[in-house]
Amino acid sequence: MSYWFYDVLAMLGYTHPVHPVLVHVPAGMSIGALGFSILALLTKQAAFRSTAYHVAVFALAFTLLAIPVGIFDWQRFYGGAWFFEIQIKAVLAAVYLVLIASAVWLGRRCLESRALPVLYLGSVVTVGGLGFFGGQLVYHGFTPEAPVQFNVGRHVFESHCSGCHRRGENIIEPNMPLRNAPQLHDFAEFLAFIRNPRMPDGSPGVMPKFASDRISDLNARELFDYLNFAFAASKRPVSAQ
């Protein structure tokens, strides 16, 4: 899969996932739609009902953008790995899409419909769940702090590895954690491994290959030093002590 879109962003200095930026729009707009429909119920002013509807249209438009971008981010930053938070986000995103699209469909026909505030409420609850599991994904991928000399390596870890190896674990093959992995003892072995990862029996596993156009030898060295600092406490490089 080509990541030219991310390469362009990286040239502009943006290296993070794009989905979290976009999702604020449907999230905020859903809350707005619910808020205005409650105002309409309380004040009986029809204008608030229209505002709620217009805001929901906006939410739907950005949802149609945020979902594909979320799928691209998932491929790019998590290697398309099908783990729990992703599964639950996929289900919730489908539910959310149905709710917000139904609200827009219904609102076009009958702004007075009693079902509209219920749909708005449902979309807010779903969006809350989506935000929660999005937060779990991002913050569970948390990377251990390290002194500034490890910044480059830490950044490489964060953008290429922490999705699956959060806190040095391995969320796909729990018995093969990065923490104290045998490859951390020797740089040549480590480099060979990330260029062509293998299961212990020599067969290819799920871990993606990292060719030199994604992680240069130089950056791999920085990554190796960071990983040794962060996840192989007994083998910290002298410079970090």
**Judged by CB under 6 A, which of 29, 178, 191, 230 binds ligand HEC?**
178
- Judged by DSSP in three states, 63 sits in helix
Residues 6+ apart with CB under 8 A from 24: none
Question: Least separation, in Å, of the C-beta of 4 and ligand HEC?
Answer: 20
Question: Least separation, in Å, of the C-beta of 227 and ligand HEC?
Answer: 6
Binding to ligand HEC in span 182-241, by CB under 6 A:
182-183, 193-194, 197-199, 205-208, 210, 215, 223
Measured distance CA(51)–CA(26) in Å, rounded: 15
Question: Least separation, in Å, of the C-beta of 121 and ligand HEC?
Answer: 36
Question: Least separation, in Å, of the C-beta of 166 and ligand HEC?
Answer: 10
| Side-chain half-sphere exposure of 206, counting CA atoms within 13 A | 15
Going 29 to 33 to 131 to 5, the CA torsion angle's sign is negative
Going 149 to 153 to 159 to 161, the CA torsion angle's sign is negative
Binding to ligand HEC in span 110-149, by CB under 6 A:
none
**Structure tokens of 85?**
């938070």
Report the interhelical angle of 217-231 vs 187-195 (nearest 10°): 110
* Minimum CB distance to ligand HEC smaller for 73 or for 120: 73
48 near ligand HEC, judged by CB under 6 A: no
Summarize as ranges the residues that interact with ligand HEC (CB under 6 A).
79, 81, 160-161, 163-165, 170, 172-173, 176-178, 181-183, 193-194, 197-199, 205-208, 210, 215, 223
